Amino acid sequence: MPSSVTFATRDAVDFVVIGSGSAGGILAKELSTAGFDVVVLEQGPYRKAADFTHDELSVLIRNELRGGGPELHGQTFRHDENETATMPGTTPLRYARGVGGSSVHFTANFWRFRPLDFKERSLLGPITGTNFADWPITYEELEPYYTRVDWEIGVSGAPGPFDAPRSKPFPMPPMPIKSSGVLLERGAERLGLHAQAEPHAILSKPLNGRPGCISCGYCMFYGCEVGAKSSTLAAMIPLAEASGHCEIRPNCIVTRIDTDDSGRANQVIYLDTDAKEQAQATKAVVLSANGAESARLLLLSENTKHPDGLANSSGYVGRNLMHNSHAVGNGVFEHPLNDYKGVQVSRIIHDFYETDEKRGFYGGGGIDARPLWSATPIFHVLQGMPPDVPAWGADFKNEIAHNFTRQMSIVGSTTSLALDSNNVTLDPESKDAWGRPAIRATYRDHPDDVSMARFLQDRAMELFDAAGAEKSWRRSITPTNGGEHLLGTCRMGDNPATSVVDRSHRSHDVPNLYICDGSSFVTSGRGQPTMTIMALAFRAADLIKAAAANGEI
Amino acid sequence: MPRNTNVSRRQFLQSAGSLSSVAYLRLSGPALAMLAQAAHAAKSESAPYRVLGSDEAADFEAIATRIIPTTDTPGAAEAGVIHFIDNAFADEMSDQLDAARDGLAEFNAALNDTGLAETRFSDLDAASQDAFLHTQEASEFFELVRLMTIFGFFSMSEYGGNKNHVGWDLIGFEGHHGAWTYPFGYYDAE
């Protein structure tokens, strides 16, 4: 569907929003419905709910929603700067391309941060060799925007025993409990832990003209065919387009942001659907391309006034990449769970959220129960089989037949510490399909991140035992080779020497350039960042509107 | 556009796990419609293969049949995995058909080296096939056929395999039904 309004590239619009995902989709909606003229440049296609399929070969194997693999983006990876980065077969930094961004294919676990996440440096003190720091904002400042995410984006759930205060209840009850949730509860009770309902960006009932979940089971990695998953594609983009002030331009590859003689952003250069170069004039730019792409674009936009990249006088653009570490345990039970039906997660455990100095390392995390590998058949066979099963033959077949409906995973998600040595830079050789220098990711989990993941994996195995699993197994945790959570690369802070954006997401260096997405994070939270990305976007929109009203933009 | 063909061909396998460097699907976007059309055309059991010769098809099918054998439940043969393989080599993997043929020739040559001259894999009985396959487990060719068998057995029927959903029925996956009502399993129903 073409946007109802179109803007000429030569006439300056009020805002160009780069990226239409969790942050960009909200900013586009908020700014356009406030009457500003907005052009959204999205690198992927404009899919609608009806375009999403259950085709495991296409989505999972051929990376349909990510637009392809290494041959497309050319990303390289190394664990540290002493290694030569190479292009792995697995895309290191993974995100969807398309209107709605990764909110289209995410699993939709929507945990709020807690007050401690914003001020943990003050609570715990410094951690040598890291950039561990407080946020310049507090939970209390962000709380009204979490509530807007609950109600405007759509979050189902129920309060848990450790939750941060909320100003308004969830707009709808949690999704019903699944067998994996029952078993997690059973294990938790026996271990003295507290299972609680999962807050999910999936509608358990109709909301804002959108239908409730039909429990098809294709959430993780897939797009929602009915619009019950609360992507910005489902919840925000239609409102932005209905405003008459927002033009969505899909399949547009941004190559740089230009600045004028006064150092202000004045146009955005991109390749359109036909790979023809265009220049969209604008009064201001909102960069929400995700924690990998936003950093790269700023580095690509270097010019004589900004020789190290735009908004990068601090040298912090691309630095402090945080993925959240993950731990997985797998188990099989006597009776069928059929956990492939419905949303992934129905119960979580937050007893280990806070850092506990008795553990001997920094960090905290959350635990959830979900089908994971057993959500779809091919994924199950390629990733989810126990290690002691042959790779072919009758025993192989019988094991799949027995396990698929009886298997679940218990997943731990943890903090990541911010480090100079974990970063996004431009690869000196590799190019993407459009000729842009490719993203080079350098990443090695801090030892405390690995320790925390191992701690949660031990708890997962205890939970399987306590819940009565027939069989359980795990793979050992090693430093990650990449991730889906792309956090910290344009850090928010009051000090222009150690951060990229201020507390209103305005870049310290370029007064009409705002950066809001996972890159804004100062700390990583406990493994489910999108709720906070969306809350930040609602808050940033209010601050941008206020700045515009004051004539500052 | 791909700057390194070898890497792009490895992409699938490594993204699916720590497997070998066998090539699979090229990443040219969804081709389901095309495949579905082709599969429809080749739907009848008597339909000729689109690219595979009858000897080749017999060998691929025999290998697939040992990977997911017919037991008291249907296996790769009943699922029509060979039609998935034939479709894949006709369409998305057409650039890999020659390499796969070379792989099959080497595979049969290795069999001939065991003292079974002028014998094809499909000529052997099941026990002999299994014994020989155990000697080939580490080869890229075997891994390619193993993966294509898994895909053909468990992917949507539109791709040509998983006929009548026998792959999904085997494991209790009712994926073709679409929407669900609670309770789903034993423990949430309890």
A544 and A425 in a common domain: yes
CATH classification of the domain holding A468: 3.30.410
**Is residue A46 predicted with pLDDT exceeding 60?**
yes
pLDDT of residue B75: 98
pLDDT tens, A432-446? 999 999 999 999 999
A449 with A432, same domain: the answer is no
A427 shares a domain with A406: no
- Please identify among residues 161-180 of chain A the ones whose CB lies closer than 8 Å to any CB of chain B: 176-179
Mutate to test the interface with A, among B184, B186, B190 (most CBs of A within 10 A): B184
Residue B87 domain flag: yes
Tell whether A119 and A59 lie within a shared domain. yes
Cβ-Cβ contacts under 8 Å for B2 (sequence gap 6 or more): A71, B8
- Cα distance between residue B151 and residue A220, in whole Å: 19
Contact A25, A101 (CB under 8 A): yes
Query: What stretch of H or E contains A388?
Result: none
Say which CATH number the domain at A503 has.
Answer: 3.50.50.60
Chain B environment of A215 (Cβ under 8 Å): 179-182, 184
* Residue B178 covered by a domain: no
Q: Which long-range contacts (CB under 8 A, 24 or more apart) does B51-57 make?
A: B51/B86, B51/B89, B51/B90, B51/B94, B51/B97, B52/B82, B52/B85, B52/B86, B52/B89, B55/B120, B55/B122, B56/B101, B56/B104, B57/B82, B57/B86
Q: Is residue A166 part of a domain?
A: no
Q: Check if B182 contacts A (Cβ < 8 Å).
A: yes
Confirm whether A164 is domain-assigned: no
User: What is the distance in angstroms between the Cα of B169 and the nearest Cα belonging to chain A?
Assistant: 9
Q: Distance between CA atoms of A354 and A342, rounded to whole angstroms? A: 30
> How many structural domains is chain A composed of?
2
CB < 8 Å to B67, chain A: 392-393, 396
Determine how many CB atoms are found less than 10 A away from the CB of residue A478: 9
Substitution target from B135, B171, B174, B177 for chain A, most A beta carbons within 10 A: B171
Contact A179 B151 (CB under 8 A): no
From the candidates A64, A182, A392, A400, which should be mutated to test the interface with B, based on the most B CB atoms within 10 A? A392
Nearest to A488 by CA among A319, A308, A347: A319
- Three-state SS for A482-525 is CECCCECCCCECCCCCCCCECCCCEECCCCCEEECCHHHCCCCC
Between chains, do A90 and B15 touch, taking CB under 8 Å as contact? yes
Interval A171-212: pLDDT, tens:
999 999 999 999 999 999 999 999 999 999 999 999 999 999
**At A341, is the secondary structure helix, strand, or coil?**
coil
Does A68 touch chain B if contact means CB atoms closer than 8 Å?
A: yes
Question: Which of B6, B28, B143, B188 to probe by mutation at the A interface, max A CB count within 10 Å?
Answer: B188
ipTM score: 0.94
Instruction: Please check whether residues A194 and A63 belong to one and the same domain.
Output: no
Q: Is residue A315 part of a domain?
A: yes
| B22 within some domain | no
Mean pLDDT for all residues in chain A: 97
Whether A181 contacts chain B with CB within 8 A: yes
One pLDDT digit (tens) per residue for chain B, 190 residues: 233 333 333 333 333 332 222 333 333 333 444 444 444 444 455 558 999 999 999 999 999 999 999 999 999 999 999 999 999 999 988 999 999 999 999 999 999 999 999 999 999 999 999 999 999 999 999 999 999 999 999 999 999 999 999 999 999 999 777 789 999 999 999 8
Model pLDDT, residue B120: 97
What's the pLDDT band for A3 if we cut at 50, 70, 90? low
pLDDT tens for each residue of A269-294: 999 999 999 999 999 999 999 999 99
> How many A-B residue pairs are in contact by the CB < 8 A criterion?
185
pLDDT in tens, A95-134: 999 999 999 999 999 999 999 999 999 999 999 999 999 9
Q: B11 vs A393: CB contact, 8 Å cut-off?
A: no
- Is A25 found in the same domain as A127? yes
Residue A409 and residue A500 share a domain: no
Are B30 and A400 a contacting pair at CB < 8 A? no
Is A151 buried (19+), middle (13-18) or exposed (0-12) by CB count in 10 A? middle
Tell me whether A338 touches chain B (CB under 8 Å).
Answer: yes
Considering only CB atoms, B3 lies closest to which of A183, A339, A431, namely A431
Can the peptide bond before residue B183 be classed as cis, meaning omega within 30 degrees of 0? yes
The whole-number pLDDT of residue B175 equals 77
Strands A15-18 and A38-41, by their bridges, are parallel
Domain check: are A302 and A439 in the same one?
A: yes
- Yes or no, beta carbons of B75 and A397 under 8 Å apart: yes
* Residue B18 counted as domain residue: no
Of all residues in chain A, the one with the smallest CA distance to B130 is: A393
Number of structural domains chain B divides into: 1
The reply to whether A1 falls in a domain is no
Based on the domain organization, do A403 and A540 belong to the same domain? no
Q: Which domain holds residue A401?
A: 172-198+325-414+444-481
Q: How do residues A298-340 score in pLDDT, each as one tens digit? A: 999 999 999 999 999 999 999 999 999 999 999 999 999 999 9
Using a CB–CB cutoff of 8 Å, tell me whether B63 touches chain A: no
Residue A145 has pLDDT above 70, yes or no: yes
C-alpha to C-alpha distance for B101 and A551, rounded to whole angstroms:
69
Whether residue A435 sits in one domain with residue A345: no
B18 in contact with A at a CB cutoff of 8 Å? no
**Residues in chain B closer than 8 A to A68 (CB atoms):** 27, 29
The pLDDT confidence band at residue A419, using thresholds 50, 70 and 90, is very high
